[in-house]
Amino acid sequence: MHRPLHLERIREAFRVHPVVALLGPRQCGKTTLARMYRSSLGSGARTTYFDLEDPEALAALRNPKAVLGEARGLVVIDEIQRAPDLFPVLRVLADRPRRPARFLILGSASRDLIRQGSESLAGRIGFLELPPFSLAETGDWKRLWIRGGFPPAYLASTAERSWEWRKAYVSTFLERDIPNLGLSIPPQTLRRFWMMLTHYHGSPLNASEIGHSLGMAHTTVRHYVDLLQGTFMIRALAPWIANLGKRQVRTPKIYFRDSGLFHFLAGIRTHAELLRHPKLGVSWEATALEEVIRHHQPPPEECFFWGVHSQAELDLLLLLDGKPHGFEFKFGDAPRVTRSMKTALDLLDLQDLKVIYPGTRRFRMDDRIEAVGLETYLGE
């Protein structure tokens, strides 16, 4: 599937930086996108490709400065998290006069887990995140919602093959990808923790409660949350704290970033099963929330939720051009104005509040509250 928006983002990043890092979960399409970008340069462009999961590529880079120093044109290094010691070498090569090579590095961990990138290449590297397929790219929200956006899961010829791919993906992630990051966590322990999070999907993190259920310290729970967030599996949405003199929620909300993986871990195989499941509403909320964030592409530090204990809440608050905009996500054909929405508008001084629902119409609910179908909103 062609992904022109992400190709253009790579081009724009290279106009500023000699090194561009394309980060995202494993098998979200990073390697395919890198090949698309390489093809877009034309048949005469010089390119060199290193896949660090290939032992021969790792062996070839035992003397990285000499090997990479000889390369010209575009150099693609895949699975960079397997060799973080390359970053200091890339800094030296990026500072050469006339920059004979540009480096596109691909990684399956966030820059917080690949700290050498931000430290060694400060001012020389641009970070881009490549998520799995979005609704804007696929146009089929029901299929995307139940299967998720990972290309092999979404494009599978049958629902059963999609399910089997997600099953294998979870096992590989736990048994191979986590150890490859240098983390020694028993796969079964992390699997139990990950499945436990399905019960907190769309809810504030209660580290003490989860720790008590699993027999681990709350600090270990937070460490595991950081790990799953750093590998793009979950989103820990930070609370917006306003100066209100009220008892506001101060712990992050936990969301699975890919609906297909959430549905697998929750045991939801089909759309019909989802419509009968108690997590239906929060599954829709998480899917729509992720789509809206991707649509606006704000940095993580400008994405929030807000809540006052037992009084009011707001699913998503985005700072767009420095101003707060509110979003509520409702699964239903005719969403209604609630007291919570009005409270959020009054207390947070929102520019507006959009209620996103699974329809196609747009209609005014109040002076500053508008209902918009998800597909309609993303098409703007």
Pairing of strands 234-239, 203-204: unpaired
Four-residue CA torsion sign, 296, 302, 303, 308: negative
Distance of alpha carbon 333 from the chain centroid: 28
Closest residue by Cα to residue 120 from 147, 83, 149, 150: 83
Residue 106's SS3 state is strand
Q: Are the C-beta atoms of residues 233 and 25 closer than 8 Å to each other?
A: yes
Q: Give the model's pLDDT for residue 118.
A: 66
Torsion from C-alpha of 111, 114, 116, 119, nearest 10 degrees: 20
**Cα gap 231→196, rounded to integer Å:** 18
Tens digit of pLDDT at every position of the chain (380 positions): 789 999 999 999 999 999 999 999 999 999 999 999 999 998 888 999 999 989 999 888 989 999 999 999 999 999 988 888 898 899 999 999 888 999 999 999 887 777 766 677 888 999 999 999 999 999 899 999 999 999 999 999 999 999 999 999 999 999 988 888 777 888 999 999 999 999 999 999 999 999 999 999 999 999 999 999 999 999 999 999 988 877 889 999 999 999 999 999 999 999 999 999 999 999 999 999 999 999 999 998 999 999 998 789 999 999 999 999 999 999 988 899 999 999 999 899 999 999 999 988 899 998 889 999 999 999 87
Strand partners, 256: 234
Four-residue CA torsion sign, 55, 59, 62, 65: negative
**Cα gap 143→154, rounded to integer Å:** 7
At position 168, the amino acid (one-letter code) is: A
Q: Which single residue is written with the structure tokens 């964030």?
A: 293
Torsion from C-alpha of 205, 211, 214, 216, nearest 10 degrees: 140
Q: Are the C-beta atoms of residues 6 and 34 closer than 8 Å to each other?
A: no
| Tokens representing residue 206 in the block | 């209660």
Tally Cβ neighbours within 10 Å of residue 173. 22
Q: For residue 78, what is the enclosing H or E element? A: strand 73-78
Q: Give the model's pLDDT for residue 180.
A: 80
**Cα gap 15→18, rounded to integer Å:** 8
**Cα gap 38→40, rounded to integer Å:** 5
Q: Give the model's pLDDT for residue 1.
A: 77
- pTM equals 0.92
Distance of alpha carbon 218 from the chain centroid: 24
Q: For residue 110, what is the enclosing H or E element? A: none
Q: Give the model's pLDDT for residue 99.
A: 87
Residue ranges and CATH numbers for the domains of the chain are 4-129 (3.40.50.300), 137-378 (no CATH)
Q: Are the C-beta atoms of residues 359 and 333 closer than 8 Å to each other?
A: yes
Tally Cβ neighbours within 10 Å of residue 291. 23
Q: For residue 13, what is the enclosing H or E element? A: helix 4-14
